[in-house]
């Protein structure tokens, strides 16, 4: 059982709907069964990129910046403690060059690491780029890096996360629907639980927007997005 499955298992057990069994059919779908009535599939919800026919007009230049940000975050391994920090960058047009962005972000993270007593931090690191760092806590299992990418928001497009999330959520539902199609007769009800590494701080209005733009598809009776470390439901519909 991998870390994401462990997170989902703890969540399912809190629902007190009955016994929760991991892989009731060894190495076959579903990942879990609840009370022998509900099949549950698990997947990590992370950034998959779709650049054609994007209704948000997503700027393709932003895609390598997302990857670059994630790469830079992974260049800071933990040392003598397990403190982990979420990193979010806020960008306006024109977008910076990758070279300038790398230099500014690397320097800012290195400076922050020299004073890990700080809990939260937000500052402008380039004319069109702001950096936000939030203390996540002593999380020993989160990739063993000091910094974890929480998000990259394009402030000129109404929010990077809200443009990424519906596409990725739909992709996950479609992908998993194909996987379970040959096994639907095993259970009358099917849930999809996604461990969410994209949108960790959606407010009620943003949740409603995601639901309206990304309705459930068959066979999913319920779709749940879980926080990757706290294990709480960020969105359930």
pTM over 0.75: no
Based on the domain organization, do 101 and 173 belong to the same domain? no
- Report residue 142's pLDDT band, with 50, 70 and 90 as the boundaries: low
pLDDT digit string (tens) for 35-67? Answer: 999 999 999 887 654 444 443 333 445 557 877
Q: How many domains are there within the chain?
A: 2
Does any domain span residue 229?
Answer: yes
Based on the domain organization, do 38 and 66 belong to the same domain? no
pLDDT of 123 above 90: yes
pLDDT of 159 above 80: no
pLDDT confidence of residue 124:
96
- Of the residues 131, 156, 181, the one at which a domain ends: 156
Residue 102 vs residues 98, 135, 165: alpha-carbon distances, Å? 6, 22, 25
Percent of the chain with pLDDT over 90: 47
Does any domain span residue 55?
Answer: no
pLDDT confidence of residue 140:
52
pLDDT confidence of residue 158:
45
- Report residue 132's pLDDT band, with 50, 70 and 90 as the boundaries: very high
pLDDT confidence of residue 148:
86
- CB of 228 closer than 8 Å to CB of 142: yes
Domain that holds residue 146: 62-156
Q: Tell me the three-class secondary structure of 129-195, residue by residue.
A: EEEEEEEEEECCCCCCECEEEEEEEECCCCCHHHHHHHHHHHHHHHHHHHHHHHHHHHCCEEEEEEE
pLDDT of 28 above 90: yes
Q: Which residue has the higher pLDDT, 156 or 190?
A: 190
- Report residue 109's pLDDT band, with 50, 70 and 90 as the boundaries: very high
Mean pLDDT of the chain: 84
- CB of 42 closer than 8 Å to CB of 8: yes
Does any domain span residue 54?
Answer: no
Does any domain span residue 57?
Answer: no
Q: What six digits make up the tokens of 45?
A: 């919800």
pLDDT digit string (tens) for 197-216? Answer: 776 667 777 788 788 888 89
Q: How far apart are CA 49 and CA 140, in angstroms?
A: 29
Domain harbouring 197, CATH code: 3.40.1350
pLDDT of 151 above 70: yes
- CB of 146 closer than 8 Å to CB of 181: no
pLDDT confidence of residue 54:
42
pLDDT confidence of residue 55:
31
* Range from 118-122, 123-127, 202-206, 207-211 carrying the lowest mean pLDDT: 202-206
pLDDT of 95 above 50: yes
Q: Which residue has the higher pLDDT, 159 or 83?
A: 83
Residue 164 vs residues 8, 19, 158, 161: alpha-carbon distances, Å? 23, 35, 11, 5
């Amino acid at each position: 059982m991998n870390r994401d499955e462990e997170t989902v298992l703890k969540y399912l057990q809190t629902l007190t709907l009955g016994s929760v069994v991991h892989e009731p059919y060894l190495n076959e779908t579903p990942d879990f069964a609840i009370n022998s009535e509900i099949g549950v599939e698990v997947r990590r919800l992370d950034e998959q990129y779709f650049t054609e026919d994007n209704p948000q007009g997503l700027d393709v230049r932003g895609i390598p910046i997302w990857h670059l940000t994630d790469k830079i975050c992974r260049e800071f391994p933990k040392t003598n403690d397990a403190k982990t920090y979420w990193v979010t960058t806020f960008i306006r047009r024109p977008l910076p060059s990758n070279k300038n962005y790398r230099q500014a972000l690397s320097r800012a993270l290195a400076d922050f690491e020299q004073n890990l007593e700080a809990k939260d931090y937000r500052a402008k690191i380039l004319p069109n780029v702001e950096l936000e760092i939030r203390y996540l806590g002593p999380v020993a299992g989160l990739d063993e890096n000091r910094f974890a990418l929480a998000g990259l928001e394009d402030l000129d497009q109404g929010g990077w996360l809200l443009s990424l999330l519906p596409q990725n959520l739909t992709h996950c539902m479609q992908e998993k629907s194909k996987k379970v199609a040959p096994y639907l007769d095993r259970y009358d009800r099917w849930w999809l639980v996604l461990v969410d590494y994209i949108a960790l701080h959606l407010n009620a209005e943003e949740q409603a927007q995601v639901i309206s733009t990304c309705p459930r598809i068959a066979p999913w009776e319920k779709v749940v997005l879980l926080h990757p470390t706290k294990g709480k439901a960020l969105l359930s519909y």
